[in-house]
Structure 1
Amino acid sequence: MDTKNKNQEIVSAQIVAVQEQTITVKTEENEVIEVARPQSTKKDALFIQTMKDILKSGIWIPVNKKLKQLLRYDWFETPIEQYSF
């Protein structure tokens, strides 16, 4: 797979609906994607509330369009030292 196609798999999206088992997002290109709730969050009591808070705030989140998954890691996980000049 070339880098161009791989980079297009990761897109910014806004949450438009939150269900118990699925999160519906809309990409910058207005593509609607249904994402299954990650297995690792099944016992996480705060996950759905967090998704609802993100929905209300309109924050853009990273989504793997091909795999239809929310990304677990993003720029928040990068240590601040790596952003220093």
Structure 2
Amino acid sequence: MNTTNNIVPAQVVALKKQRVILKTETNEVITVDVPQGRKHDKFFMLTMADLLRSGLWIPVNRTLHQLMRYDWFDTSFKNYAF
């Protein structure tokens, strides 16, 4: 299977209970369940709401229906050096 095209940019277009709805550049709708470790993380949904308002594009695995984990998402604020 070619995994190169599975990672696509997408925008958050809606937030449902325990789900994030995203749309790709080709208007494909991808529904992502909130990751198990983030279900009780109040900052996760606040971050998703900020992404919804801002329209920023984020990486999503279209086959696995998962948000990609990168430092911008997983690194706590305390770990950044200014």
Partner residue of 1:36? 33
Q: Aligned to 2:7, which of 7, 10, 15?
A: 10
List structure 1 segments (4+ residues) > 3 angstroms apart after TM superposition. Answer: none
1:45 aligned to which of 42, 58, 71: 42
Indicate the structure (1 or 2) with the bigger Cα radius of gyration. 1
Give the alignment's TM-score, normalised by structure 1. 0.79
Identity %: 53
1:28 Cα shift?
0.6
Q: Which residue of 1 aligns with 2:58?
A: 61
Contact map agreement 1:20 1:48 (CA 8 A) in 2: no
Equivalent residues in 2 for 1:70-85, closer than 5 Å: 70-73=67-70, 76=72
Q: CA deviation at 1:40?
A: 1.1
TM (norm. structure 2) is: 0.82
For structure 1, which runs of at least 5 residues remain unmatched after alignment? 78-85
RMSD: 1.5
Cα distance in 2 between the residues matched to 1:12 and 1:24: 13
Give the secondary structure class of the aligned counterpart of 1:43.
Answer: coil
Cα separation, 1, equivalents of 2:60 and 2:20: 11
